[in-house]
Structure formats: structure tokens, C-alpha cells
Amino acid sequence: MAEQVTRKPYLRELPRTLWFLRHPRYVRYMAREFSCFFIGAYTLMLVLGLKRLAEGPEAYAGFLEALASPGAIVFHLFALAFSAYHSITWFRLTPKAMPVQLGENFLPDGVIAGAHYAGWALVSLVVLWLAGAF
Amino acid sequence: METITSDIAIIGAGGAGLRAAIAIAQADPGLRIALISKVYPMRSHTCAAEGGAAGVIKSDDSLEQHFNDTVGGGDWLCDQDAVDILVQEAPKELLQLEHWGCPWSRETDGSVAVRPFGGMKKQRTWFAADKTGFHILHTLFQTSLQFPSITRYDEFYATELLVDDGCCQGLTAIEMRSGQIRQFRARAVIVAGGGAGRMFPFTTNGAIKTGDGMALAYRAGVPLKDMEFVQYHPTGLPSTGTLLTEACRGEGGVLLNKQGRRFLQDYGMGPETPLGKPVLKTMELGPRDRLSQAFWHEQKKGNMVATEWGDAMLLDMRHLGEKKINERLPLVRDMSISYMGVDPVRDPVPVRPVVHYMMGGIHTDIRAATPLAGLYAAGECACVSINGANRLGSNSLTELLVFGRRAALSAMEYLASGSARGNAQAIDARAESARGQVRALFQRSGGGESIAGLRKAMMHTLEQHAGIYRSGEGLTEACATLATLRRRYANIELHDKTNVYNTDLLQALELGSMLDCAEAVAVSALERRESRGAHQRLDCPERDDARFLKHSLAHYQGEAAPRISYGEVVITKSQPGVRDYSGGHA
Amino acid sequence: MSERRVELDVLRYNPETDRTPHFQRYSVTCREEWVVLDALNHVKETVDPTLAYRWSCHMAVCGSCGMMINGEPKLACKSFLRDYPGVIRVEPLAHFPVERDLVTVIDDFIAKLTRVKPYLIPKEAKPIEAGEYRQTPAQLKRYKQFTLCINCMLCYAACPEYGMIPKFMGPAAISLAHRWNQDSRDGGRAERQEEIAATEGVWECSFTGACSEVCPEHVDPAAALQRVKIKSTIDWYLAHTMPWLNK
């Protein structure tokens, strides 16, 4: 039994950059976070479309033509996939953030997430209706 | 050696220690409190208490009935003045916890709910689902965080009480993280170190329950009272000893033998009550000692279910339904599934009696004061005695609150009376010698005795000879074995001779505590030639009030076996009678 | 009853003899129904008494035996050998300094817990003699799950934010603050906001959700943190759009 204090708590180094590769749940989290880049990019593209529309029919036609290019289609597919992933992962988390207590019990998670899906479907229908799809 | 000076030092930060600390901090914020524990407070074993805490609150109940249930349950070995205090102060203490935010289960009108419990004639057990002790402990711990006068010393293992001039003036403790010994100087010390169930191999008790507080006081010259009374809880999981709360039966669960018969009716606790309609203080709601003894007899008759961990009875809760089990007994369901692979909603759970609680402990009076000036004790480590020969379930959580607070107030009175003495030099010398003792353990080599080996031998001896039923012959053998084990303990050798968080050292010291307590149990049991409550002698099957309506007191004698003397039981209004759990006494 | 040879790779670190931690392999015969803690106890009793770890209750309520088991924060007393067919890697809880072997330094958590004032700050003072505060089962249920935290700190070991930003108050401390905020008897939310609505409070949380996935008591700390965020946001908007409400 030594007299001097020999404590020396050891701090384990953590990878600062690719830390999320440590565990699948972190990878899933990063995928969810990463998905917002596509949503952002898609929003920028819509803004660009508005700008072209304001510049006149020719500019807008050029924009529509560019949308039909294979690259733009691939981009749309990616954007669709990631925004769907984004929405689904967040909807799945909504029961945590906004629980609803009725009397003694809480509404089941499925009801709260389901309500979000219903809202999503409704808004989509309205947009389609505005676009003249029906 | 670093010296830490405070006004009152408390050893143990479980329910009793925390309650005491808060009481002092509230009453006099100027007093410096050192709260010393070998574990972080929330690890203390109070957290494992499940069923509830008894306190009269409903209008059909009365203090007198709580008193009578407790005294009868304890087979008249309780000190009745102490029980009076317990039942009077219980409701106030439980309400105090409510005011500190304890999440008690509630009635629909928002008042506190109570549930039935074994040996209690009325519903008076306050509960927080089936994690009552956990919630009490965390409520107390978190409440304690608001008091700046409480300084915690978490993970400090107390090794010795510092006594000089006939009064306790502090203690020495090992700081686990550094391995250094510290001297705690205090004008009064409260021991709240918990029980010693780990002396037995099959117990509901956590690893930390090694009787350290009891051993500290015992070695300092304070007798251990009624140590022969060891409670077996009837319903533990046979695989791990994990407790399934008495509330399982309080809520309506029943016990079956392998023929499916509710066998308790054959042991004076009948007649059989309707399934799902438990009747208080009869059948499955009889007291723990009687139920565990009935198991023993049924086992002898070959009526028990064989499992790979030995014989078991069946705890059937299926008729309670999934909803009620989830709401009232969620932990029970979770543990039965996890540790036994049995879902109580679908199947009866095999259970068997398991060592649960020490009725005995540090001899104190109703002020929680020990015979040693400046030393107080409360909780399971103490014996006031409100539990007598058999504790009723849900009285111990109440006890640690009531007597934790009383220990605090008594210690403060003692400080105020000016009778606390201090002799710095003599105390320093004692602290140095305490450090020398620990250092000697490090220096010893060639002894060759293993800690695990001695521990196993001790556990085996107690299980074999100091279990539910005992005999003079067996106890004589146990005493001899334990004396040998204590001698061999002097030759243990540490494998780990480093300082930082040395658990080998910790286990060695804990084993020392347990061996001292174990010997007190065995010798007290041998001397008590009668059967009373949890102490059942096959060779002396009757209760003998003429000779043994007395508290046993085990006095430490160093290397020799303890000397046993006897003290009077305080009887105020309830003369010893017959314990009747036949349901015919309403 | 069946037995099995179990290989454990345990991270060892003794500050007096080691500069860095290293793995040590133990091979012991265990019973099939044992938990990892039983295996460690068996190692300590029969092979290596110097191995250091914390444990007590063996029923997942004291919170002592949190450790990384095959990289996942777990209570050793509730990790069944039957779920780990291969070599079992046992390390101290991630993100905490290692004191020795599997024992970590948890001062940081204790300090944070103290800072969030995890005790009842009564909405209205009431003497004991006046009886209990009324609380309906519905009001109880509103906060009950957050009382179940056993302070085992698995959530801190799972939380990548805490790993990178040690100042983050972390899941358990904030959940417990939220527990008191949600209690119908309590009126202390404003006092707790100072700590939990600060940058190093909830706003370091990016809702990885790992805390809730590993919580052995199903407390769901991630839920508590998101609710604190929403409430704090509402506070902010109310304060800035309707300042008269603050008076």
C-alpha cells in the first residue's frame, strides 16, 4: 500500500471524424441527417425554377428542358428516396416529441405517427389537385 | 493522514442514512454532515425493496391495529414502546416523502393508494408500483442534493470507529479511488450500513450487504441484538434468489404445491380463501416466517416441484390478468421472464424461500442511540427492536425513515448537550493504528487462505445449520466451523496489492465483517433454546416465554466467540399470546 | 443443466502498472442461464481476484454494473450469456474516464445531476399535517416513466454528442429535470430551465435516439429531451412575441 496517490484515470480517444462508423445506429442517424442535403438541394432547384419563370417563357422552357435530362432524373430519384427516408424517420420519432395523453393513457405511438402520415397524404393530394391532376 | 472534520458523520447512504442527513440539514443548516458510503447513494440496497411501506392512513384502520399486527407478527419479541413510535410516526414520514415528490401510486381521487400485505389486518402498505424502495431511495437522494451542509463521500469504505474516553468520535475509511485511508473526525456518528444477508449463499440481498455497519459497532463494543432472527422471504426465484415481492400475494397471487393444492391451509393458515379475493392476515397473506416454514414441511413431504435449482413451490398469478400485473407488478413480470423464462401472465412462477432480512442488529434504544456515547444506528443494521422475531413485510422501509430521523435528532441533542468529548491526540493514534491494520493486510504473504474459499465455507455453514429450521447439534457444529473460519481469516492474503479501486481488499474486509456477524448469528441461535418467529429449533419446538422472552445480546470478544447476555423486552400493552393466522379472528 | 465454456475479453487497466488499457482473455465454464455478471464473478472468484468492477443488486435496479458488452452499453446483470454465442468483449462504459479495469469515473454525471435541481420545488407550500398533495393516476402517469431512471449511465455511453462534447448535460440528467417539471406538485421549472434550456442543455442533443435504444428501464430519455426542446421553443416565442405575458 503506497502512500502517494497513484490515480490516473484513463481517457479513451474517440475518432473525431468517422465516429459514426462505430455503430450501425449512428450510421442510420447520419443517413437521416444527410437526407436533408437532398431536400435542401431540391428546394434550391425549385427556387431556381421560379427565377427562370420570372425571366420569361423562354428561360422557363429551358429550365423544363433541363429537368428532362438524365442527370436531373437521377437527381429527382435520389431526392425522392432521401426525402421519403427523411420523412419516415422523423415521423417515427414524432410520438416521442409530442405525446398526447387522453385521460390516464397516452395515445399509442402508431396513432400519432399515423396522423402525420395522414397529414402528409392530405397535403400531397391538395398539391396534386392544385396542379390539376384531377 | 488526511483528516476530514465534520459535526456528524453518517456511515451508509441508503434510506436510513439519507433520511438522517436530511433531518439534520433541515433542523440545523450550520451542522456539517459527512455522508460516507461504500457505494454511490443510489446503489444502496434500499433500491431493491419492492412491495411498500406501512403506515396507517385509511379511515377503517388504526394505529392500535398496526401495533397489534406488528407485535404479534414479531412473536412478542418487539419492544412495544418502539413499535408505538413506529406506528405513530409512520404516516407522517410517508407523507413527508410524498411532499418530497415520491411517486406513490394513487387512488382515482388523487389520494395515496394502499395495498394488502402479509400479516397486516388492514390495507396500509403505501406503494409505488413494485419499486417502492427504489423510489424512496431516489426521492431521498435527489432531495438531499439541495442541502449544502451535506458533504458526500461516495465509495469510501469505513474500517473502524474511533472511540476514546467512552465515546465515539469518528471513523477511518478507505477512499476506494485512491486507496488512501482518511480519518473522519465527528462529534457523533450514525451507522446506517444495512443488513448482512450476503452471509448466506441464497439471498435477495445485493453484493454490498455484508454487515459492515454491524461489524463496526460490534467491534467497538456495542452488542448485536437478536442476531439469530434471520428472515426468509417465501418467494424468491430459485435460479438467482431474486425477490418477487409479497405484493404478488397482496394483489391476489396464490401458492401451490405440485399437486396444485394451496398447501398453506394445511399449516394453520386456512381455511382456503376464494381465488382472486385475498383475505388479510390469512393463507397467502400470513407472515413470512410461517410461509417459509410451511414450505420446509411440504418439501420434506415431497410435495414440491423439482426444478434444476432445487425444490420450489408455485406462485400463481395468472388469474390477476395481464393488465393488473403490468400496472401493479411490472418488475415482477420482467424479472420472472428474464431470469426464469416464465411469464406470470401465462404460467405459475416457481419460487422458494430465500434469505431476505436481518431482524437483529446493532443494539439501540428508541432514540436510536447505542450504549456507546455518540454512536447511533438506524435501518436494517440496527435493532430497536420493532421487528422482534419476525418482521412484517413493509415495516422496514417505514422503520428506516422513522428511526433514521430519530437517530439524527438524537445525535443533534447529544451535540447540544455538550457531552461530546474530544481528545485529538488519542483519536489520531487510533486512526493511525486503524491504518496499520489495513496496511498489515497488504504486507501479509504466504498465508494462502483465499477470500472466495472462506466466504463459500461460511455461506455453506450458515445455510446448512442456521436456515429455516435449526438444531442444537447443527448450531454447535456451525459455531465451531465459524470459529475456525475466523482463525483462518487471519491468514488471508491479498492477490491485489495496488491502491486504486482495489476490490480484492474490499472483499477481504467485507468477509471480515460477515464472519463476525455470522458468528454472532450462530452463537445467539445456539443459546436460544426455544422456537420463536423466524428462529425455529427442531430440538426445542415450543416458544418459551419464561426463559426466552428476552433479547439476546452478543458481545464481541476479539478472537474468542461472542459472549451472550440477555436484555428485557419492553411490554406495555400486549401480553404474549397465540399468533393466529387462521382467518377466524376477525 | 447445461454448461458452456465462455471466453471473455476484458479490458484491463491498472493506473499503477499500466500506461494504457489492454485486453485480457479469460476462459471459464459457465451455466447457460447465467448473465455476464455471473461470468465476471466466476472469473473473480476462481481465476483472477484483481479484476475490478462494480455490481450489487443483480436485478437491474441499482444501476452499478453498466459496461460495454460487445460494444453495446449494457447492464451486466441483464445480459444473458445465451445471447452471446462467441467471445464476449467487456469494456468499461464508453465516454467516461477509466479509473481501473471496468470501473469508470462518474463525477461528471453526479455534478450534472445536482445542477438540474432534481427535487421537488413545491408549487404551493403545504404543511405535512394538511395531508398529501392530491395527484390523480393520470397526473402520475404524465411523469412516471421518467422516474424510472436508475442512473446507470448507459445513455451517456451511447450518446455520441456526449462523447464529443463532454459539457453536454446528457440524457439522464435532463430526463430527471423533465420528470420534476412534469410533476403536478412541482413549480420549479423556471429554475431548472437555466441549466437544461442552455446550449449545453438540450440544444446539444441532435436526437440520435441512442439513449432510448439502450435504456434498460425504458425511460426514453430522447423523448424527454425533445419535449424540453419544444417547450423551451414555445417559451422563447411567447417571450418575444407576447412580452406582456412575462410580467
Write the secondary structure of B437-459 as one string of H (helix), E (strand) and C (coil): HHHHHHHCCCCCECHHHHHHHHH
CA distance C103 to C91: 9
Q: Class of the B3-231+357-423 domain?
A: alpha beta
Q: Residue range C226-234: average pLDDT?
A: 95
Is the minimum CB–CB distance between A93 and chain C shorter than 8 Å?
yes
Give the neighbours of chain A: at least 3 Cβ pairs within 8 Å. Answer: B, C
Least-confidence region, from B202-211, B271-280, B345-354: B271-280
pLDDT of residue C203: 96
* Segment A76-96, tens digit of pLDDT: 999 999 999 999 999 999 999
- For A25, which of C98, C207, C210 is closest by C-beta distance? C210
Q: What spatial distance separates the first Cα and last Cα of chain C, rounded to whole Å?
A: 71
CA distance B427 to B169: 8
- The type of residue at B132 is T
Residues of chain B with CATH 3.90.700.10: 234-353
The residue in chain C having the minimum alpha-carbon distance to the alpha carbon of residue B44 is C62
Mutate: best of A3, A7, A8, A11, partner C, most C CBs <10 A: A8
pLDDT band at B224 (very low <50, low <70, confident <90, very high): very high
- The type of residue at B110 is G
In sign, the C-alpha dihedral spanning B285, B287, B289, B293 is negative
Q: What's the distance, CA B119 to chain centroid?
A: 18
Pairing label, strands B33-37, B560-568: unpaired
Q: Residue range B533-555: average pLDDT?
A: 97
Residues of chain A with CATH 1.20.1300.10: 18-97
CA distance B292 to C79: 31
- For A5, which of B178, B442, B497 is closest by C-beta distance? B178
β-bridge mates for residue C66, sequence order? C75
pLDDT of residue A4: 64
Helices and strands, number each (H, E), in chain C: 9, 7
DSSP string, B199-261: GSSSBSS-TT-S-HHHHHHHHTTPPEESTT-EEEEEEE-TTT--B--THHHHTT-EEE-TTS-
Q: Which residue has the higher pLDDT, A19 or B554?
A: B554
Residues of chain B with CATH 3.50.50.60: 3-231+357-423
Integer angstrom CA distances of residue B368 from B22, B431, C139: 16, 25, 38
CB B383, CB B71: distance < 8 Å: no
Integer angstrom CA distances of residue B152 from B12, B162, B254: 10, 20, 44
CB B474, CB B537: distance < 8 Å: no
* Segment B470-483, tens digit of pLDDT: 999 999 999 999 99
Reference C118, options C60, C64, C195; nearest CA is C195
The DSSP secondary-structure symbol of B490 reads T
Question: Which residues of chain C from 57 to 86 reach within 8 Å of chain B, CB to CB?
Answer: 57-64, 78, 80
Q: Which residues of A touch B177 (CB under 8 A)?
A: 7
Q: Residue range B493-507: average pLDDT?
A: 96
CA distance B499 to B467: 38
Q: Within 13 A of B319's CA, how many CA atoms are on the CB side? A: 13
Q: Does the model's ipTM exceed the 0.95 cut?
A: yes
- For A6, which of B439, B497, B499 is closest by C-beta distance? B499
pLDDT of residue B421: 79
| Cis peptide bond prior to B292, omega within 30° of 0 | no
- For residue B393, pLDDT beyond 70: yes
- For residue B585, pLDDT beyond 80: no
Q: Residue range C210-231: average pLDDT?
A: 96
pLDDT band at B586 (very low <50, low <70, confident <90, very high): very low
CA distance B154 to B12: 9
**Sequence-separated (6 or more) residues with CB below 8 Å from residue B320:** B251, B252, B253, B276, B329
CB C119, CB B143: distance < 8 Å: yes
The DSSP secondary-structure symbol of C186 reads B
Is the minimum CB–CB distance between A1 and chain B shorter than 8 Å?
yes
Is the minimum CB–CB distance between A6 and chain B shorter than 8 Å?
yes
pLDDT band at C247 (very low <50, low <70, confident <90, very high): low
Q: Within 13 A of C218's CA, how many CA atoms are on the CB side? A: 5
* Segment B562-575, tens digit of pLDDT: 999 999 999 999 99
Angle in degrees, CA B322, B323, B326, rounded to 5: 80
Q: Class of the B234-353 domain?
A: alpha beta
pLDDT of residue C157: 98
CB B252, CB B329: distance < 8 Å: no
- For residue B351, pLDDT beyond 90: yes
Residue with cell 426542446: C229
CA distance C156 to C93: 9
The DSSP secondary-structure symbol of B45 reads G
* Segment C27-43, tens digit of pLDDT: 999 998 899 999 999 99
Pairing label, strands B305-307, B167-175: unpaired
**Sequence-separated (6 or more) residues with CB below 8 Å from residue C85:** none
pLDDT band at B29 (very low <50, low <70, confident <90, very high): very high
Please judge whether B177 and A2 are an interchain contact, meaning their C-beta atoms are less than 8 angstroms apart: no
Least-confidence region, from A8-17, B11-20, C152-161: A8-17
The residue in chain A having the minimum alpha-carbon distance to the alpha carbon of residue C17 is A6
**CATH classification code of B427-568:** 1.20.58.100
pLDDT band at B425 (very low <50, low <70, confident <90, very high): very high
Q: Which residues of A touch C13 (CB under 8 A)?
A: 10
pLDDT of residue B582: 85
Please judge whether C120 and B242 are an interchain contact, meaning their C-beta atoms are less than 8 angstroms apart: no
- Given its phi and psi angles, is residue B382 left (phi above 0), alpha (psi -120 to 50 degrees) or beta? beta
Q: Where are the beta strands (DSSP E) in chain C?
A: 3-12, 22-31, 66-69, 72-75, 88-91, 98-100, 103-104
Residues of chain B with CATH 1.20.58.100: 427-568
pLDDT of residue A133: 85
CB B176, CB B156: distance < 8 Å: yes
pLDDT band at C74 (very low <50, low <70, confident <90, very high): very high
Q: Where are the beta strands (DSSP E) in B18-58?
A: 33-37, 53-54
Please judge whether C49 and B452 are an interchain contact, meaning their C-beta atoms are less than 8 angstroms apart: yes
Is the minimum CB–CB distance between A10 and chain C shorter than 8 Å?
yes
The DSSP secondary-structure symbol of B304 reads S
CA distance C214 to C212: 6
**CATH classification code of A18-97:** 1.20.1300.10
Q: Residue range B270-296: average pLDDT?
A: 93
* Segment B130-176, tens digit of pLDDT: 999 999 999 999 999 999 999 999 999 999 999 999 999 999 999 99
Q: What is the rounded average pLDDT for all residues in chain B? A: 96
pLDDT of residue C246: 63
CB C16, CB A6: distance < 8 Å: yes
Grid coordinates given for A129 = 389537385
Task: Give chain C's domains with CATH numbers.
Answer: 3-104 (3.10.20.30), 107-246 (1.10.1060.10)
In 3-state terms, what secondary structure has residue B267? helix
Active site residues of B: 233, 249
H/E stretch holding B3: strand B3-5
Integer angstrom CA distances of residue B339 from B275, C23, C31: 27, 29, 13
pLDDT of residue A115: 95
Please judge whether C163 and A19 are an interchain contact, meaning their C-beta atoms are less than 8 angstroms apart: yes
